Chains A and B, each alone.
Chain A
Amino acid sequence: MLGRAADNIFWMARHVERVESTVRLLRATELNALLTASAGDGGGEDEAIWARPLLLTGRMDDFMVRYEQLSSGRVMAYMLFDRDNPASVKSVLERARENARATRHLLTNEVWESLNHTWIAIRDQHYVTMQRTAVADRLDWLLERCFMFRGALFGSMRRDESLRFANIGMYLERGDHTARLLAAQPDRAGAAADPAAQMREYYEGTALLKALGSYRAYRETFASNLDFGRIAELLILHATVPRSLRGCIDEVAETLRILNPTAESLKVAHELQYRLQTVQIGHVRRVGMRAFLLDFCKELDEISDRIRHDFMMVQ
Chain B
Amino acid sequence: MAQPAFFDEMHSGGGVRAPYGRYADWLHSTPAEALQQRHDQANSLFRTVGITFNVYGEEGGTERLIPFDIVPRILAAEEWAIVEAGVIQRVNGLNAFLHDVYNDQEILRSGLIPPEMVLTNSAFRPEMLGLKLPKSIYAHVAGVDIVRIDDKTFTVLEDNARTPSGVSYMLENRQAMMRLFPDLFSAYAVAPVSHYPELLLDTLRAVAPREVDDPVVVLLTPGQYNSAYFEHAFLAQEMGIELVEGQDLFVDDGEVFMRTTRGPKRVHVIYRRIDDDYLDPLTFRRESTLGVPGLMAACRLGRVTVCNAVGGGIADDKAIYSYMPEIIRFYLGQEPILNNVPTYTPRRAEDLSYVLAHLPELVVKEVHGSGGYGMLVGPAASKAEIEAFRAKLIAEPDRFIAQPTLALSTCPTYVDAGIAPRHVDLRPFVLSGKKTMVVPGGLTRVAMRKGSLVVNSSQGGGTKDTWVLEKPHARPRR
Contacts and interface: CB of A to CB of B under 8 A. Distances in A.
B460 interface: no
Contact of A4 (B48, B49, B245, B263): B245
**Interface centre among A4, A117, A259, by most B CB within 10 Å?**
A4
B261 interface: yes
Contacts of B259: 2-4, 312-313
A112 interface: yes
Contacts of A98: 224
Interface stretch (A45-53, A100-108, A218-226): A100-108
Interface string B237-270: 1000011110110000000001111011000000
A66 to B, nearest CB: 23
Given A105-B233, A109-B49, A161 B261 contact: yes
A65 interface: no
B242 to A, nearest CB: 6
Interface string A277-307: 0000000000000000000000000000000
Chain B residues touching A, range: 20 to 34
A103 B244 CA distance: 10
Interface in B6-21: none
B237 A104 contact: yes
Given A1-B242, A2-B259, A4-B248, A105 B224 contact: no
Interface in A126-184: 161, 165
B462 to A, nearest CB: 21
**Interface centre among B50, B247, B258, by most A CB within 10 Å?**
B50
Nearest to A114: B48
Contacts of A312: 259, 261
A97 B262 CA distance: 26
B236 interface: yes
A105 B261 contact: no
B237 A116 contact: no
Interface string B42-79: 00000111100000000000000000000000000000
Contact of B248 (A2, A116, A161): A2
Given A113-B48, A117-B48, A3 B237 contact: no
Given A2-B259, A3-B260, A313-B259, A104 B50 contact: yes
**Interface centre among A101, A103, A106, A311, by most B CB within 10 Å?**
A101
Nearest to B236: A105
Contact of A2 (B49, B223, B260): B260
B47 A120 contact: yes
A103 B49 CA distance: 14
Contacts of A236: none
Contact of B224 (A101, A109, A113, A161): A101
A3 B224 contact: no
Contacts of A101: 50, 224, 229, 233
Interface in B209-238: 223-224, 229, 233-234, 236-237
Interface residues of A, number: 25
Contacts of A102: 223-224
A193 B243 CA distance: 63
A116 B260 contact: no
A1 B258 CA distance: 9
Given A112-B50, A117-B48, A105 B243 contact: yes
A96 B189 CA distance: 42
A2 B242 contact: yes
Contacts of B264: 313
Contacts of A117: 48
A312 B263 CA distance: 8
Contacts of B263: 313
A116 B47 CA distance: 9
Contacts of A106: 237
A105 B234 contact: yes
A6 interface: yes
**Interface centre among B229, B233, B247, by most A CB within 10 Å?**
B233
A102 B224 CA distance: 6
Given A1-B260, A3-B260, A101-B229, 14 more contacts: A2-B242, A2-B261, A5-B243, A98-B224, A101-B50, A102-B224, A104-B233, A104-B234, A112-B50, A113-B49, A116-B50, A117-B48, A120-B48, A161-B261
Interface of A: 1-6, 98, 101-106, 109, 112-113, 116-117, 120, 161, 165, 259, 311-313
18 contacts: A1-B242, A1-B260, A2-B243, A2-B258, A3-B259, A4-B245, A4-B259, A98-B224, A101-B50, A101-B233, A103-B243, A104-B237, A105-B234, A105-B236, A106-B237, A116-B48, A312-B261, A313-B264
